[in-house]
């Protein structure tokens, strides 16, 4: 996969590209990531990337020309990239979207600043408008970093354990179950006996049940889009009784 990030502050990405999973994925040539300062594609002596909005109003808008030209410059030949506009008006980013993007050959992120974008960027260039959530950031860089991290870890070979991404929270539709490691007894706080039993079928049932419990207590809204098995429905009723709610 190739990921291109268009930003007028490319230095912001130095840390994320040189540490942890992303660094290893780049070294293993699983992904190629390039950050491009789209100011270098702006026309004119001063390479201006923003201008006042027609009709008046506060703030400045990113001009269409530098971004259109930058996208043309980084696009892979004979490929149709997903061009992602980081924008608070976009669809909220989630795990399903990350999995979809991870199947693409190329992603191009456009990181904006100022008051917004020339609407022609949105109408004639972008394939996806995405937001991290219902809050405002100074620019699109932090959103692009978060999405890049989420997507890269899904690429085959990026994680040391191939099953890790499958069992992450949200990948199954539920929050992830609790985890424990050695020692089995730390300052009187003990690991649940079931995890020490060696019975993998029983352990798997416990993990699934605790995943339901955690989702019920913390993110019950996830059940709206999750289809439970008959056994899970029974477990959930038991959990509700155990937690003292119906």
Which is nearest to 211 in space by CA: 189, 239, 246? 239
Q: Please say if 243 is a catalytic residue.
A: no
* Residue 16 annotated in ligand binding: no
The verdict on whether residue 62 carries a ligand-binding annotation is no
Q: Which of 100, 104, 115, 232 is catalytic?
A: 115
Residue 211: pLDDT over 90: yes
Neighbours of 34 (CB within 10 A): 13
Asked if residue 136 belongs to a known ligand binding site, the reply is yes
Tens digits of residue pLDDT in 165-200: 555 555 678 999 999 999 999 999 999 999 999 999
Task: Judge whether 233 counts as a catalytic residue.
Answer: no
Tokens read off for 55: 């009709």
Q: Which of 39, 153, 209, 213 is catalytic?
A: 153
Looking at residues 202-210, what average pLDDT do you find? 96
Task: Match 């009723």 to its residue by tokens.
Answer: 237
Give residue 173's pLDDT.
Answer: 87
Average confidence score pLDDT of the chain: 92
Per-residue pLDDT reduced to its tens digit, 102-140:
999 999 999 988 778 999 999 999 999 999 999 889 999
- The reply to whether 10 belongs to the active site is no
Any known ligand binding at 137?
yes
The answer for residues whose C-beta is within 8 angstroms of residue 193's C-beta and 6 or more apart is none
Ranges of CATH 3.40.1280.10 domains, the chain: 2-152
Please indicate if the annotation marks 85 as binding a ligand. Answer: no
Cite the residue boundaries of each domain of the chain with CATH code 1.10.1270.20: 185-242
In terms of CATH architecture, what is 185-242?
A: Orthogonal Bundle (1.10)
Tens of pLDDT, residue by residue over 55-71, are 988 789 999 999 999 99
Percent of the chain past pLDDT 70, that is, above it, reads 95
> Counting beta carbons within 10 angstroms of the beta carbon of residue 225, is it exposed (0 to 12), middle (13 to 18) or buried (19 or more)?
exposed
53, exposed or middle or buried, with CB in 10 Å at 0-12, 13-18, 19+? middle
For residue 74, pLDDT beyond 70: yes
Please give the Cα distance from 32 to 76 (Å, whole number).
Answer: 12
Q: Which of 100, 168, 205, 232 is catalytic?
A: 168
Round to whole Å and give the CA distance between 95 and 97. 5
153 is catalytic: yes
Catalytic-labelled residue, pool 82, 88, 129, 214: 88
Residue 174's pLDDT is 92
Arithmetic mean of pLDDT, 203-232: 95
Check the annotation: does 134 bind a ligand.
Answer: yes
Over residues 137-157, the mean pLDDT reads: 96
135 is in an annotated binding site: yes
* Residues listed for the chain: 246
The percent of residues above 90 in pLDDT, for the chain, comes to 84
- Look at the domain 2-152 and name its fold: Alpha/beta knot (3.40.1280)
For residue 94, pLDDT over 90 is answered with yes
CA distance 54 to 192: 64
């Amino acid at each position: 996969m190739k990921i291109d990030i268009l930003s007028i502050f490319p230095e912001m990405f130095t840390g994320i590209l040189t540490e942890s999973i992303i660094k290893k994925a780049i070294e293993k040539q699983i992904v190629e990531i390039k950050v491009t300062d789209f100011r270098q594609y702006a026309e004119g002596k001063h390479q201006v990337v923003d201008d006042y909005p027609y009709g008046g109003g506060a703030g400045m808008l990113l001009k269409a020309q530098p971004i259109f030209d930058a996208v043309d410059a980084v696009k892979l030949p004979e490929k149709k990239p997903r061009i992602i506009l980081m924008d608070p008006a976009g669809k909220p980013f989630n795990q399903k979207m990350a999995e979809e993007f991870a199947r693409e050959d190329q992603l191009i992120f456009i990181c904006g600043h100022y008051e917004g974008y020339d609407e022609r960027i949105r109408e004639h260039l972008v394939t996806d408008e995405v937001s991290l959530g219902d809050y405002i950031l100074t620019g699109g860089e932090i959103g692009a970093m978060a999405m890049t991290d989420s997507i890269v870890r899904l690429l085959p070979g990026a994680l040391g354990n191939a099953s890790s991404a499958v069992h992450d929270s949200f990948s199954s539709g539920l929050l992830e179950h609790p985890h424990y490691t050695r020692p089995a007894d730390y300052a009187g706080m003990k690991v649940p006996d079931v995890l020490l039993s060696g019975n993998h079928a029983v352990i798997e049932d416990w993990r699934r049940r605790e995943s339901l419990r955690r989702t019920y207590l913390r993110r019950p809204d996830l059940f709206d889009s999750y289809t439970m098995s008959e056994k899970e429905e029974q477990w959930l009723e038991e959990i509700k009784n155990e937690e003292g709610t119906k």
